[in-house]
Amino acid sequence: MKIADRGGHNPQSQGANGIVNEIIEDRKILASTNKWLKIDNQEVTDVTPGNCVSAEDLKYGVDQAKLHKADIFASIHLNAGGGKGTEVLYSLASTQGKELATRVSNSIAKLGFVNRGAKIDSRGLYELRRTPMPAIIIECFFCDSKIDVELYNKVGADKLGKAIAEGIVGHEIKEPVIEPKINYVLETQKFLNKLGITDYDNKKLIEDGFTGTRTRTALNKLVLKL
């Protein structure tokens, strides 16, 4: 699945500034969202603009989403205005947008935020009006709410980004399992000690994982016994 997403606003066209700043935090959340989407093997394009006025900011993200033929467009924001909780906006004309918005809102709410739910865009917002693919605007939490910001600080941007990513794809994304690297020298040293094969001083090998004269001597002794 091709996903185009962005952080809301830019330094020249500021967003909300409450207890935390929208631009600073939504970039952190975006980075986490994209990390988890990539772990899930999704094709992700970050369409966040640089410094520009509001009209160019909105147009850039939409145009890039079209250019990359994205299947889904998501714009990540923080809310403000005295409320609390998470909500996700979608276009009235998009059934898929509603389903997507509902999944993302429910996923974020599992972290403890009040679930304000999927909401129809009644203002004709540019990003929802001009994108041909299912599109959502995610208002993660209220940046001027003490309760929301305390919860956000507790949960962290990474878990919030993971929740958004899981809402977008519709399933849990698991941390990749990294197989531990085997130190074959160390395992050989342990094996030689278990067999009672010693170094040139007839001493037990130090199990340090490094190949040295003592380990090579013990190996040679093993070869001669075979």
Domain ranges within the chain, ordered by starting residue? 2-169, 184-225
Given a contact cutoff of 8 angstroms between Cβ atoms, the answer to whether 1 and 72 are in contact is: yes
pLDDT at position 182 is: 87
pLDDT at position 178 is: 78
How would you classify the pairing of strands 43-46 and 115-120?
Answer: unpaired
pLDDT at position 126 is: 97
pLDDT at position 27 is: 98
> Helices 157-169 and 95-109 sit at what angle, rounded to 10 degrees?
150
Which residues of the chain are under the pLDDT cut of 50? none
pLDDT at position 102 is: 98
Q: Give the architecture (CATH level 2) of 2-169.
A: 3-Layer(aba) Sandwich (3.40)
pLDDT at position 223 is: 84
pLDDT at position 128 is: 97
pLDDT at position 110 is: 98
pLDDT at position 160 is: 98
How would you classify the pairing of strands 135-142 and 86-90?
Answer: antiparallel
